[in-house]
Structure 1
Amino acid sequence: MLGGLALSAVVAPHANAASGLLQPLSVEPWTRMPGAPILDHPYGLPSPRESVVVRRAARAWPVPGAASSLTPLADLHGAITPNGLVYERHHAGVPDIDPDQHRLVIHGLVREPKLFTMEDLLRLPSESRVHFLECSGNTASEWKGPSGLPVQLTHGLLSCCEWTGVRLSTLLEAAGGLAANNGHAPRWILAEGADAAAMTRSLPLDRVLDRALVVYAQNGERLRPENGYPLRLLVPGFEGNTNVKWLRRLKLVDAPLETREETSKYTNLLADGRARQFVFEMDAKSVITRPSPGHKLTTHGYYPIVGLAWSGRGAIRQVEVSVDGGRSWQPARLDGTPGDRALTRFHTGWVWNGEPATILSRATDSTGYIQPTREALVAARGLNSNYHYNAIQQWRVDADGSVKNA
């Protein structure tokens, strides 16, 4: 049985539509002669028939070098994002860094300031972990209501990879450990990138010390240039901009340095004019990726509902799906054991009867936090911010089978 239906009932309508299914398979052209040789492409590439599965830009940015591209979530399977489809967000373009010349300095309130080469870092103990990255501006298009955009443009500032690098705590140990100076104790750490924007963020040491990695590889290969090559910071669960790319400096300080990216940018303006500053974790969120806008249900009957859920505060505990606009909810099946601060794929089945419907998903994380409705989120935070939108996302299925963000 599959979603309450016999498997034969699911496949039969489509199988019957294929003429001559019970006849011998035809001999296609590609079965008649040898194919391409090995090393035709020394670095493996997707099939040309998958050429539409690419990152796409949401909009033009007014600042030279500032840009973003979004992951095609609706076209992916599983929870790991291929390196070539990991979303991008840059403040001054992608620098071309020679790893042999790149250096990482650790200084400030440490006993022995250190300068590391990439060779030094590769000789230190490393570990690999699977975590998602999400831009704090992901899904900002939906703050004021349904945007009409497809899931790639609403939720595509999101990716999940296996990251490999050195623990931040290991590097601080190599620098002799933390050290107070004239009554100033190390409570924060400043991370700075080597890009032309000199991207900098202050992070609370007690929340990143045992969590953060200084990363040089993703999904088994060295970082891509647009994802921070040769070195980046990874703080699992924190908003994307804190995971500073092209990392060149870590300074231990006693208080946040109030840089541009944590004052004029990446603060959350509330309805009463106050701003939430240093909001780091990305709250629990989910989205149905199939069916989603741009898809069309071609016939009545069974359809799988598939999506992704994630939380910056832990693992996903439960995902529920509604096909009646939120009046009733059913638990979805989760792939495997949900990982800590990682994407989790969810599945359920639905028999569409041809009538208009509204489909939604709702995530609950390991802290017990439940993904809110848009109305609840707006009531709590107002409409003045572009960041940390995590409301339940609904898709409308029309009677003709078209799926819309409406």
Structure 2
Amino acid sequence: MFGKLRRPSQDVAKIALEESDRLSSTERRQFLRNGLFTAGSVMVGGTFAGLSAKVGAAATQYPPEVPLWTRSLGAGVVTNPYGMPSPYEKGVIRRNVPWLTAEKTSSVSFSPLQHLKGIITPNGLFFERHHAGRPEVDPQQHRLMIHGLVERPIILSMDDLQRFPSVSQIHFIECPANGGMEWRGAQLNSLQFLHGMVSCAEWTGVRLSTLMQEVGIKPEGKWVLAEGADGAAMTRSIPLEKVMDDVIVAYAQNGEALRPEQGYPVRLVVPGWEGNTNVKWLRRLEVGDKPWMQREETSKYTDLLADGTARGFTWVMDAKSVITSPCPEMPLRGGKGIYQIEGLAWTGQGKVKAVDVSTDGGRSWQQAPLREPVMSKSLTRFALEWNWDGNPALIQSRVIDETGYVQPTLTQLKAVRGTNSIYHKNAIQTWQINADGSVDNVQLG
């Protein structure tokens, strides 16, 4: 709000900010309230006409004038039956990196984290990852088969599936390659492209454990193979312990049916685990006595280490955080003064316990308040008030989850993992604030 109000009289607002720097937090807030009122009063008392002459008709939209849109009727109801964002938000979209993959059918789109509010990602902005493009599945013809080492194999229609008791849970999904292009150095000056392969939603569906109880697992059953209906027949093996814990066979996202790019009409949601295990367009679940590693799909991603060996079964997404404002897409536009350092934190191990913020490249840290709600395996918001003095700064965040795990520095992570992998890069992100308020992606140990 303050950014908008300072447009009509930048000199008045600038003086107010400079004066507020010399005051305590409580005094500052009172000063800003009074200062903004005074600035408005100055415009009312005699400078508004002059301002109009300088900046044109747009100035007549500011108080106390009645804006144009208040002097006419607006569009009626159901002029757009589904609803669309305001045209002024047309830049808030998913984006892809054209050179990242040879074809879009096996590629990824990135969620605009810098523009999102709260912890829920709108369905139209939820990141995508496809292995053979997005199939158009007819829900009336789609079936989910559960078979293998079970007592009572079944084939379920979508109507059948929705007759089971439903649950709704809020969880994030993150691609293990999120940020993976930067193991060896800074590559892209963009929050969206660096960290936008994570999103969070409310998922509604049936507990997979409920379906497993329905079919009855034989004693030798230890793993479940999930297969999608896309052109890649995307398959992943999941151990039975996870299956019986919190996995959801989801048919709805944020209160509506899944979008086609999110697996319509049904998908797996495997809370806290690699995004690739959350198989979309789910058509088959096969219970077996071991993972299906002898098949071409290999049942997992692997992380190539410095010595040539590979880590396997690294499903859990380790704790991670990132500052979303300021960031390269969200510079400090108002000059020195008070700002909110805001960001997101998450962990596949449960809840976020705390987030620390540094404005001096990690030499000192201050704990940032967490914004409710704080839920297990969900995105969590944090924010810290910062009085920027106008000098260059290095800002960072680090998360500590409820297991005690602390988000590592890049040096710490490289010491354990090397730089050969593109997966599970959860190192502390550093943004460099420049004197003009612009923000650059930099790498610090």
TM-score of Structure 1 vs Structure 2, range by shorter chain = over 0.9
- Amino acid of the residue matched to residue 262 of structure 2? N
Task: Spell out, residue by residue over 1:346-399, the C-alpha distance to the aligned partner (whole angstroms, 9 max, x if none).
Answer: 000101101110000000001100000000001100001000110000100011
Q: Please, which moves more after superposition, 56-65 or 308-317?
A: 56-65
Inter-partner Cα distance in structure 1 for 2:41 and 2:264:
51
Inter-partner Cα distance in structure 1 for 2:222 and 2:199:
30
Instruction: Determine the structure 1 residue equivalent to 2:107.
Output: 67
Q: Is 1:52 matched with 2:74?
A: no
Task: Spell out, residue by residue over 1:314-349, the C-alpha distance to the aligned partner (whole angstroms, 9 max, x if none).
Answer: 100000000011011001111114100000000001
- Amino acid of the residue matched to residue 238 of structure 1? W
- Amino acid of the residue matched to residue 226 of structure 2? A
Task: Spell out, residue by residue over 1:156-212, the C-alpha distance to the aligned partner (whole angstroms, 9 max, x if none).
Answer: 00100000000011111221x1114xxxx1111100000001000011111231210
CA contact (8 A) 2:114 2:330 kept: no
Q: Is 1:371 matched with 2:407?
A: yes
Instruction: Determine the structure 2 residue equivalent to 1:43.
Output: 82
Displacement, 1:65? Answer: 1.4
Q: Is 1:270 matched with 2:311?
A: no
Shift in CA distance, 255/11, structure 1 to aligned 2, threshold 3 Å: farther
Task: Name stretches of at least 5 consecutive residues in structure 1 with no aligned partner.
Answer: none
SS in structure 2 of the partner of residue 65 of structure 1: helix
- Amino acid of the residue matched to residue 93 of structure 1? G
Displacement, 1:74? Answer: 0.3
Shift in CA distance, 27/74, structure 1 to aligned 2, threshold 3 Å: same
Instruction: Determine the structure 2 residue equivalent to 1:305.
Output: 341
Instruction: Determine the structure 2 residue equivalent to 1:186.
Output: 221
CA contact (8 A) 2:114 2:329 kept: no
The 5 Å alignment of 1:27-176 reads 27-60=66-99, 61-63=101-103, 65-175=105-215
Displacement, 1:235? Answer: 0.6
Count of residues in correspondence between the two structures: 400
Inter-partner Cα distance in structure 2 for 1:141 and 1:209:
34
Shift in CA distance, 11/153, structure 1 to aligned 2, threshold 3 Å: farther
Displacement, 1:59? Answer: 3.2
Task: Spell out, residue by residue over 1:1-48, the C-alpha distance to the aligned partner (whole angstroms, 9 max, x if none).
Answer: 996763245567777777955565111110111100000111111000
Shift in CA distance, 261/353, structure 1 to aligned 2, threshold 3 Å: farther
TM-score (norm 2): 0.86
1:358 corresponds to which of 384, 394, 401: 394
Inter-partner Cα distance in structure 1 for 2:36 and 2:93:
29
Which structure is richer in relative contact order (CA contacts within 8 A, separation 6 or more)?
A: 1
CA contact (8 A) 2:188 2:194 kept: no
Inter-partner Cα distance in structure 2 for 1:17 and 1:198:
63
Identity, % of aligned pairs?
53
CA contact (8 A) 1:187 1:205 kept: yes
Shift in CA distance, 8/122, structure 1 to aligned 2, threshold 3 Å: same
- Of Structure 1 and Structure 2, the greater helix share is in 2
Task: Name stretches of at least 5 consecutive residues in structure 2 with no aligned partner.
Answer: 1-22, 46-62
Shift in CA distance, 5/310, structure 1 to aligned 2, threshold 3 Å: farther
SS in structure 2 of the partner of residue 6 of structure 1: helix
